[in-house]
Amino acid sequence: MTTPDDLSISWQSLLEALPDGTALIDVRGVMHYVNSELAFLTGYTRDELIGENVQILIPPKLKSMEGEARRQYSLDPTSRLIWNDRDLTVLCKDGSERSVDFALSALTLDGVHWTVGSIRDNSVQHAAEQARIEAEQHFRLAFEDNMAPMVFTDLEDRIIAANDAFCAMMGRTRSELIGFDSKPFTYPDDVGITEASHERFLHDEIRQVRYVKRYLHKDGRMIVVEVSKSPARDKTGKTLYFIISERDITEERMLTAQLSHQALHDPLTGLANRALLDDRLAQAHSRILRQGGNGALLLLDLDDFKGVNDTYGHLVGDQLLSAVAHRLEGVARDTDTLCRFGGDEFLYLAEGVGGTDEAQLIAQRFLRSLDEPFLIGGLSLEQRASLGVVVWDAHDAEVSDVVRDADVALYEAKRLGKGRHFLYVSGMHHNVVNRFSLVQELRQAVAANELAMHYQPILRLSTNEVVGFEALMRWHHSERGWVPPGVFIPFAEQSDLILDLGAFALHESIRAASEWGGSKELLAEPYVSVNLSARQFHDPGLLALVRSELDACSLPADRLIIEITEGVALMEVADTLKTIEQLTNLGVGVALDDFGTGFSSLSYLALLNPMIIKIDQSFVRPVTASIHSDRLLEAIVSLGHNLGMTMLAEGIETRAQLERLRDLHCSLGQGFLFSPAVPFDEALSMVGTSFDF
């Protein structure tokens, strides 16, 4: 048998010269010759490999594959097997694996069949191929499988590739997109946005761009997208194509719009809120400064709205506010701004009004819109409002002054009786400032004990004896001197200060009455009569306050008379009747003051059934005495007698007036004929006395 030693030296030289690692292998797989390249590639020496089975170079994972390959090859030794399309490796001496291509070829020498096995190092190619595969995977992840919509466009801005996310966003297939630019599915008003940026790219004016535009989905929906576009360039900087990433921001824009609306609108009524009104007002003011013309501001406040919340609860109150807002919107102009200013106040900004007449017509239209009752949860509610109007032009002051002036006009509207509008005129603010200063000083006067109660005696006209005193508040200002009640009481009634004054009057008067003692000739000790405002008489805490003050001074309840005017009594008839009943049950009497100057409804008079009716001084001493005025006085006194009520005449100043009242059998009287209101000490000296007339 021929052995490798018998080979000609030329074969060894030939195998050694081969660039691939080569081994001469017998039919058992034993290597009889290896060249230097194979030793180099595997890390062995040639001597370590010669005589070893080729399996020493086969990784465990490939042994079965290698064995099957040699078996197949043995069936046809003349064939040639080349594997360069498989992931093959050779096992090196250090245990590492090297990526290789593999080939088997037959060699017959002197009738003996040999196998020439060759391996070629392809690690560089393998690494490149692996990098290519990884790049393709990265591309697939970055483009095809990306959740963000992406497209590639050519230099003509036509789509050359689109991923699934973009197709889904547009509701279109690739065939409907590729080859076209974006115009066919761009919202008509936004055509030109993409084209303009593309031209800038072509002229090298920009390196990348981001913009927002609107598309049309295949189903017709509008989509708002944020587009990011940049060019792909070669090594020389030449633009090859454009990479465009898009983000659907439709819901984001809707949410932003919703949040913006919520930030600038009242959540209950949906009207503009104060922040939006301030912005609109500033813009209107700027336009007037530039262009001239007039603007009007109307401040509307619901009259006695607190009573709705107190009586029916805040849920009904909120529903009523929404209904009022809807009514006001119905008469508002589209070019103007209606705002819920806060609480139960609404502000209306009217631009381009012709002047004060047009502004007042708008005010009247608003007030008339509230004429019809509101149906809220089965309730029929009447709701009126007061409205302040101010008209301004380019010569007027800052915007804040316009709002202030509207508030001043609203104050005047309420002061004049509510349910009406009032137009601001120059100088009103100064008067309001004076009133405000007076109210502040009045608050300080309460704390500084500058207020005092004076007492005007009330006489039984048949005997001239003192049976009671009417308590009247007096204020001696440290700088202004005596401030008449007719000046400061109306101001106090516009705020909660009136409650403080009323509580002070009750406390001082009850304390004074507790120190008055009657003479033995008098059947009863003198009573004290205290005037209450509408706010205090209808205050839920009135009964508790009266009871507390009476108990504190140990004053019998029948020595206290509460005076109210007809206007107060008829303001809330149901509440008035309830309060009168509670006071009567307590033992406190009620007097109806200024009778004849208000409604003078006989049905209401019988319903209220006061203990005392005070005849207004205009009937006791009329401006012009006549038979008619005398008969009217007679009728009033007779009416009281017939109803079983005590009649008290106010403002008696002459003996003739006194005699006439005696002739009519009027029971009680007071006036300057007897005495003005005097301090406590002087009133105390009158207790138990009779005047000599």
Q: Give 347-402 pLDDT, tens digit per residue.
A: 999 988 888 899 999 999 999 999 999 999 888 999 999 999 999 887 765 667 88
Using pLDDT thresholds of 50, 70 and 90, give the confidence band for residue 48: very high
In a domain, 130, yes or no: no
Domain enclosing residue 510, as ranges: 439-686
Question: Which CATH number covers residue 221?
Answer: 3.30.450.20
For residues 499-508, average pLDDT: 91
In a domain, 479, yes or no: yes
Query: Are 555 and 455 contained in the same domain?
Result: yes
Query: Are 448 and 315 contained in the same domain?
Result: no
Spatial contact of 142 and 149, defined as CB atoms under 8 Å apart: no
Query: Are 454 and 548 contained in the same domain?
Result: yes
Is 443 or 562 the better-scoring residue by pLDDT?
A: 562
So what's the pLDDT on residue 524? 59
In this predicted structure, the answer to whether residue 192 has a pLDDT above a threshold of 70 is yes
Using pLDDT thresholds of 50, 70 and 90, give the confidence band for residue 7: very low
Using pLDDT thresholds of 50, 70 and 90, give the confidence band for residue 519: very low
pLDDT above 90 covers a percentage of the chain that reads: 34
Query: Are 111 and 160 contained in the same domain?
Result: no
Number of domains observed in the structure of the chain: 4
The owner of tokens 């919520």 is 262
Final residue of a structural domain among 253, 275, 290: 253
What secondary structure letter does DSSP report for 50?
T
In this predicted structure, the answer to whether residue 597 has a pLDDT above a threshold of 70 is no
In a domain, 333, yes or no: yes
What secondary structure letter does DSSP report for 525?
P
Question: Which CATH number covers residue 452?
Answer: 3.20.20.450
Query: Are 109 and 163 contained in the same domain?
Result: no
The predicted model scores a pTM of 0.48
Give the whole-angstrom CA distance, residue 341 versus residue 297: 12
Query: Are 96 and 12 contained in the same domain?
Result: yes
In a domain, 134, yes or no: no
In this predicted structure, the answer to whether residue 105 has a pLDDT above a threshold of 90 is no
**Mean pLDDT rounded to a whole number for the chain:** 84
Using pLDDT thresholds of 50, 70 and 90, give the confidence band for residue 482: confident
In this predicted structure, the answer to whether residue 532 has a pLDDT above a threshold of 70 is yes
So what's the pLDDT on residue 310? 82
So what's the pLDDT on residue 31? 92
Write out pLDDT tens, residues 224-247. 999 998 888 888 888 888 888 888
In this predicted structure, the answer to whether residue 5 has a pLDDT above a threshold of 60 is no
Query: Are 246 and 272 contained in the same domain?
Result: no
So what's the pLDDT on residue 267? 84
Give the whole-angstrom CA distance, residue 199 versus residue 450: 84
Contacts of 188 (CB under 8 A, 6+ apart): none
Mean pLDDT check: name the lowest of 8-22, 67-81, 182-196: 67-81
Question: Which CATH number covers residue 414?
Answer: 3.30.70.270
Using pLDDT thresholds of 50, 70 and 90, give the confidence band for residue 433: low
In a domain, 166, yes or no: yes
**199-203, 521-525, 657-661 — most confident range:** 657-661
86-90 long-range contacts, Cβ below 8 Å, gap at least 24?
A: 88/62, 89/59, 89/62, 90/21, 90/41, 90/42, 90/57, 90/58, 90/59, 90/119
In this predicted structure, the answer to whether residue 187 has a pLDDT above a threshold of 50 is yes
Final residue of a structural domain among 90, 122, 154: 122
In a domain, 584, yes or no: yes
| Angle, CA of 461, 464 and 465, to the nearest 5° | 115
Mean pLDDT check: name the lowest of 33-42, 460-469, 591-600: 591-600
What secondary structure letter does DSSP report for 616?
P
So what's the pLDDT on residue 603? 64
DSSP 556-597: -GGGEEEEEEHHHHHHTHHHHHHHHHHHHHHT-EEEEEEETS
In this predicted structure, the answer to whether residue 316 has a pLDDT above a threshold of 80 is yes
For residues 3-12, average pLDDT: 58
Query: Are 648 and 561 contained in the same domain?
Result: yes
Q: Pairing between strand 295-302 and 337-342? A: unpaired
In a domain, 691, yes or no: no
Query: Are 53 and 188 contained in the same domain?
Result: no
So what's the pLDDT on residue 431? 57
| Nearest Cα residue to 645 out of 606, 619, 676, 687 | 606
Final residue of a structural domain among 405, 426, 447: 426
Write out pLDDT tens, residues 320-347. 999 999 999 999 988 898 999 888 999 9
Using pLDDT thresholds of 50, 70 and 90, give the confidence band for residue 314: confident
Query: Are 678 and 625 contained in the same domain?
Result: yes
Using pLDDT thresholds of 50, 70 and 90, give the confidence band for residue 260: low
Query: Are 498 and 589 contained in the same domain?
Result: yes
In a domain, 358, yes or no: yes
Query: Are 221 and 278 contained in the same domain?
Result: no
In this predicted structure, the answer to whether residue 3 has a pLDDT above a threshold of 60 is no
Is 581 or 113 the better-scoring residue by pLDDT?
A: 581
